[in-house]
Amino acid sequence: MKTIQTNSLIEAPLDFFNKIGATFLNFLAAVGRLVNFMIHSVKHCFLPPFYPSQLIRQLTDIGYYSLPVVGMTALFTGMVLALQSYTGFTRFNAESAIAGVVVLSITRELSPVLAGLMVAGRVGAAIAAEIGTMRVTEQIDALRTLSVNPYKYLIAPRVLAATFMLPILVLIGDIIGVYGGYVVSIHSLGFSAGSYLTQTWDIITRMDVVSGLWKAAVFGFIVSIMGCYHGFNSARGAQGVGAATTNAVVSSSILILIFNYLLTQIFFS
Amino acid sequence: MNNESTNNKSPNNKIVLSNVSKSFGNNHVLNGLSLNVPTGKSMVVIGGSGTGKSVMLKCILGLLDADSGSILIDGKESVGSDTKTRSKFMKKFGMLFQGGALFDSLRIWENVAFGLVHGQGMNKKQAREIAIEKIRAVGLSPDVAELFPAEMSGGMQKRVSLARAVATAPEIIFFDEPTTGLDPIMADVINDLIVDQVKDLGATALSITHDMASVRKIADYVAMIFEGRIIWTGPVEDLDHSGSEYVEQFIHGRADGPVTRSVA
């Protein structure tokens, strides 16, 4: 009786540590698979054959069709930012700082991060669902049997298009966001147009915009890689494709927030 | 077991599988499977669901890597081969997938011409002409060329998939359950088309199916797979007197017999 009790006392913590160990090993294996997939994908972006028609299609899908959602997000973010800044800054008689706060917040942080998150929701989900469906309906196997490398035909155009188009979307978002803040400041808060624009122009530097564009390129890469990875490794059935889509959006959103911090450290520390 | 037609020493074997094994974790799907497919003949592998038919096909195609054993294609080893060699093998293959696997973002003619344009580098105009010719050869009107796969019925999609499989004039054509999900008349039409297309190309065909009408129509040789091994192989004429109780049970579709007893 005593032996049984002693055994269970030893085994219970061992089981616990076994589970922790197995989870950690599974995590490392998943990271390894993801890194391997990423290296393969990047390699095939630069090795022929290339599929320009696929690239153009993705540039349109990822860039052009994301413009309304990114534009709307930037516009209302700029407007809200101006209103909130005004509410706070009037307490310290610092209303003149609003233009600077709006332009720096938009270009450095809000435009790239919000555009990244919106594109993760729109494009990352679509990539994972499309490639996941192709996986479960054997279309990816069919590509291979027709002597076409799926990394070159499916993955590389999406990765290139997202990495290239997100900075353009963010640049447009910067302009629209600043314009949103300008409209609210002029029409609702009673600022003078000339002084608002002068303050905006005086405070912004090239680095503020460029850092946002670099962030956008990294976020575009993350969104496309996570969408492709989860779609490519989708499990069978509708549930598998659904899980791939969810995982793509969740993982790319989290990675965007983590990399935003890391990039901010690199650019501004 | 009858191996008369498929001696693996014979130079007339297009595909030779020897002791091929493949496992997924603890699930041993192929357990030392051996099979020879004679050049220019149609071999059909029969067997129940989950016996390893599709995995065998994917190992030959290089879509899955066999854990051990040897797969010779035209006498050249495929297992463990590099990407370049794999790519050379792929150029010899055509494949009709169970669900058709047509690319739903492309038009029908683009699907059929896909291997010609992207695999062989043919110009689009010439590839389109060949695609239309193949669409006609599988009994479809050239008018369907501009449609998308979602606009066609299952039977029509299977025909298009067949047209795509033969468009590059492959030396070896694989058929994965070609008649599954079709009504008996359409299944017979597809079987006729398979026989015609394989004959026209002089290709070697390897099919997997559990549709016995299809087996009798398209097979020169039949092999039965069970628990990841080939348990019987022989000419289609011998199918009804195979001497194997497993084959007997399968071809007559009996609920009681050695197959069900093993599973139980």
pLDDT digits (tens, 9 = 90+) for B231-253: 999 999 999 988 888 899 998 88
Q: Work out the average pLDDT over A213-222.
A: 98
- Do residue B118 and residue A137 have CB atoms under 8 angstroms apart? no
ipTM: 0.88
User: Which residues touch A235 (CB under 8 Å, ≥6 apart)?
Assistant: A243, A244
Specify whether the backbone of B36 is left (phi greater than 0), alpha (psi in -120 to 50) or beta. beta
* Cα distance between residue B181 and residue A138, in whole Å: 16
User: Which residues touch B22 (CB under 8 Å, ≥6 apart)?
Assistant: B28, B29, B30, B52, B55, B59, B64, B66, B67, B228
Task: Give the model's pLDDT for residue A2.
Answer: 57
Q: Which is more confident, A47 or A5?
A: A47
Please return the burial class of B15, using the count of CB atoms within 10 Å of its CB with bins 0-12, 13-18 and 19+: buried
Q: Work out the average pLDDT over A151-166.
A: 97
Numbered residues of chain A with Cβ closer than 8 Å to any chain B Cβ: 49, 51, 134, 137-139, 141-142, 144-148, 153
- Do residue B102 and residue A153 have CB atoms under 8 angstroms apart? no
Strand (E) or helix (H) holding B247: helix B245-252
Nearest residue to A211 via CA among A245, A177, A156, A262:
A262
Nearest residue to A76 via CA among A173, A191, A204, A189:
A173
* Cα distance between residue A37 and residue A151, in whole Å: 9
pLDDT digits (tens, 9 = 90+) for A15-45: 888 999 999 999 999 999 999 999 999 999 9
Question: Which of A90-99, A120-129, B124-133 bottoms out in mean pLDDT, i.e. has the lowest?
Answer: A90-99
- Do residue B99 and residue A138 have CB atoms under 8 angstroms apart? yes
Structure tokens at B65: 């890597």
Confidence at B261, pLDDT banded by 50, 70, 90: low
* Cα distance between residue A23 and residue A9, in whole Å: 22
Q: Is the pLDDT of residue B5 over 60?
A: no
Which of A50, A145, A153 to mutate to test binding with chain B, by most B CBs within 10 Å of its CB?
A145
- Do residue B118 and residue A139 have CB atoms under 8 angstroms apart? no
* Cα distance between residue A225 and residue A105, in whole Å: 27
Coil, helix or strand at residue B38: strand
Q: Which is more confident, B115 or A92?
A: B115
Distance of CA B176 to the CA centre of its chain: 5
Smallest CA–CA distance from A142 into chain B, residue: B101
Nearest to A142 among B62, B87, B101 (CB): B101
CB contact at 8 A, A180 and A189: no
Task: Give the model's pLDDT for residue B11.
Answer: 56
Q: Is the pLDDT of residue B3 over 90?
A: no
Strands B93-96 and B229-235: unpaired
What is chain B's mean pLDDT, rounded? 89
Structure tokens at B261: 């007893």
Task: Give the model's pLDDT for residue B258.
Answer: 81
* Cα distance between residue A252 and residue B144, in whole Å: 40
A135 to chain B, closest Cα gap in Å: 10
- Do residue A148 and residue B118 have CB atoms under 8 angstroms apart? yes
Q: Which is more confident, A158 or B241?
A: A158
Confidence at A202, pLDDT banded by 50, 70, 90: very high
* Cα distance between residue B58 and residue A137, in whole Å: 15
* Cα distance between residue A54 and residue A65, in whole Å: 16
Fold of B4-263: Rossmann fold (3.40.50)
A120 to chain B, closest Cα gap in Å: 22
Share of chain B above pLDDT 90, in %: 67
Task: Give the model's pLDDT for residue B162.
Answer: 92
Question: Which of A236-250, B22-36, B100-114, B179-193 bottoms out in mean pLDDT, i.e. has the lowest?
Answer: B179-193
- Do residue A139 and residue B94 have CB atoms under 8 angstroms apart? no
Enumerate the domain spans of chain B.
4-263
CB neighbours (10 Å) of residue B260?
12
Chain B hits for A139, CB-CB cut-off 8 Å, are 101-104
pLDDT digits (tens, 9 = 90+) for B38-94: 999 999 999 988 889 999 999 999 999 999 999 999 999 999 999 888 989 999 999
Nearest to B101 among A138, A148, A153 (CB): A138
Q: Work out the average pLDDT over B135-152.
A: 93
Which of B24, B60, B63, B83 to mutate to test binding with chain A, by most A CBs within 10 Å of its CB?
B63
Q: Work out the average pLDDT over B193-215.
A: 91
Confidence at B9, pLDDT banded by 50, 70, 90: very low
- Do residue B93 and residue A141 have CB atoms under 8 angstroms apart? no
